[in-house]
Amino acid sequence: MGKDVIVALDFENREKTLGFLDLFTEEKPFVKIGMELFYAEGPAVVREIRARGHRIFLDLKLHDIPNTVKKAMAVLSALDVDMVNLHAAGTAAMMEAALEGLTRPDGTRPLLIAVTQLTSTDQERMERELLIPHPLEEVVLRYAENARRAGLDGVVCSPLEAGQVHDRCGADFLTVTPGVRFAGGDAGDQKRVTTPQRARALGSDYIVVGRPITRAGDPAAAYRRCLAEFVG
């Protein structure tokens, strides 16, 4: 388990996505399919990318009552993906139901990862809008602990938080970390960025990389550079 680069397929449709994947002639990257592509193309695009031999993180961030999430997870599990996620804010009951739904008749299941507080939520909004009067970092770690207790496999977090999450939740509790940029690269809208090498040193298990690979002149070369820096 662990230490891999996940390429974020943030494309609007099947054609652009498959055109991008065609650039990888030698390797089969682990890829992330998010809401944009899934809502545009539905489960068919997931099956198609799977059939091409890619491992898939389906990033749909479920959050609903436990019974609904359980049933939705059963559908996603049947798509034969490798990793899915939900919002830890849905509580332990929802996370436990999700695990039940995900588990296939043969006992196998995709990895289940929790989103803690989105990085778009800051301290002020959390206190003023959500009435949560605690340091954001503590809230993130509490959500991670809740996810761990509910039996989940890990959380999405910043590489800068990976060490603390491992300290609280154990070395085998996975940290899946976006916000990665090459040294000297364009940060775009990401505020706190880390190089693949630094993410490795900080203890990230999987880095999620979008634009540094999707917008590179040679995406396959950028992917290989990322792998070399992160996995070694």
Residues forming the site for ligand C5P (CB under 6 A): 8, 10, 34, 118-119, 156, 178-179, 188, 190, 208-212
* CA atoms of 165 and 115, how far apart (whole Å): 13
* CA atoms of 158 and 170, how far apart (whole Å): 17
Q: How far is the CB of 63 from ligand C5P (least distance, A)?
A: 14
Using only the alpha carbons of the chain, give its radius of gyration.
17
Q: Which of 61, 70, 71, 191 is catalytic?
A: 61
User: Which residue number, 10 or 153, has a Cβ lying nearer to ligand C5P?
Assistant: 10
User: Which residue number, 93 or 118, has a Cβ lying nearer to ligand C5P?
Assistant: 118
Q: How far is the CB of 118 from ligand C5P (least distance, A)?
A: 6
User: Which residue number, 70 or 230, has a Cβ lying nearer to ligand C5P?
Assistant: 230
Q: How far is the CB of 34 from ligand C5P (least distance, A)?
A: 5
Name 125's Cβ contacts closer than 8 Å, sequence gap at least 6.
Answer: none
Q: How far is the CB of 108 from ligand C5P (least distance, A)?
A: 26
Q: Which two tokens stand for residue 152?
A: 């989940």
Q: Are strands 30-34 and 111-115 parallel, antiparallel or unpaired?
A: unpaired
Query: What is the length of the chain?
Result: 232
Q: Is 61 a catalytic residue?
A: yes
The C-alpha angle 205, 74, 3, rounded to 5 degrees, equals: 10
User: Which residue number, 70 or 206, has a Cβ lying nearer to ligand C5P?
Assistant: 206
Q: Which two tokens stand for residue 180?
A: 């990665």
Residue nearest to ligand C5P according to CB distances in the complex? 210
Residues assigned a catalytic role? 61
